[in-house]
Amino acid sequence: AISLPSPVMWHERIIPLALVIYIRSAFGKACAGDNLSSDAPLRIGVKYKPDDCRKLSKKGDRLLIGYTGTLYSDCSVFDESYYEGFSFTYGQGEVIKGWDQGLGGMCVFEKRKLTIPANLAYGTDGQGDKIPSNSTLVFEVELLGINGKKPKKDKGRQPGWSKQKKKMQPKPEKPAMGGMMGGMGGMMGGMGGMGGMGGMGGMGGMGGMPDMPDMGGQAGSDEL
């Protein structure tokens, strides 16, 4: 005869399993293929706040937000506008609920990390090809201005932001050396065909090219 476990033993197995499933859905690990439960609370983390933080964002303000958006499940970037910024009226439903709930009471140059469950983002519909259904979203945000105003000379902004901006800007492409040399060869060939110049012998009487004017201390100067 096969003996079945007692009801107590079944409960001992089922309850821990249910807890594991709940914990995994509510507190899924970032970048590991998980999402938070769609009804999980909004997470707001303050990453940086200026010392002078008196003017705070409120409903009806026009905010300029720099941001980078990633998927919680795999940490891939789906959108960003970190230095140009995105402008909208706060608290008017122009953006996802996670932003309308997570960007209040901020001062200019404050930085936050918003972890937004699906019901406060794009829900079961998702958004295009980059945001699947029921996605938890993570936004690294910085408030860049309130109603078109910010501190003069970026006072209070986190040190090092300008270096980071320079680092992120794409470097201009260098012209191919082959194309440059080919162009120079064509020029020299054309000059060779100008026999009327007497083999360039006339330049000998010019005593060489004139000296370039002395630039003095202007070399390397940043002033106009």
* Comparison of pLDDT for 90 and 19, the residue scoring more: 90
Counts of helices then strands in the chain (DSSP H, E):
4, 5
DSSP secondary structure, 51-78, as one string: S---S---TT-EEEEEEEEEETTT--EE
Nearest to 72 by CA among 5, 136, 162, 11: 136
The answer, yes or no, to whether residue 1 has pLDDT greater than 70, is no
User: Per residue in 212-224, pLDDT tens?
Assistant: 444 444 333 333 2
Dmax over Cα atoms in the chain, in whole Å?
A: 120
User: Per residue in 146-158, pLDDT tens?
Assistant: 999 988 888 889 8
Q: Span 125-144, mean pLDDT?
A: 96
pLDDT of residue 191: 55
Cβ atoms < 10 Å from Cβ of 106? 25
Q: Is 96:121 a contact under the CB 8 Å cutoff?
A: yes
pLDDT of residue 217: 40
User: Per residue in 87-109, pLDDT tens?
Assistant: 999 999 999 999 999 999 999 99
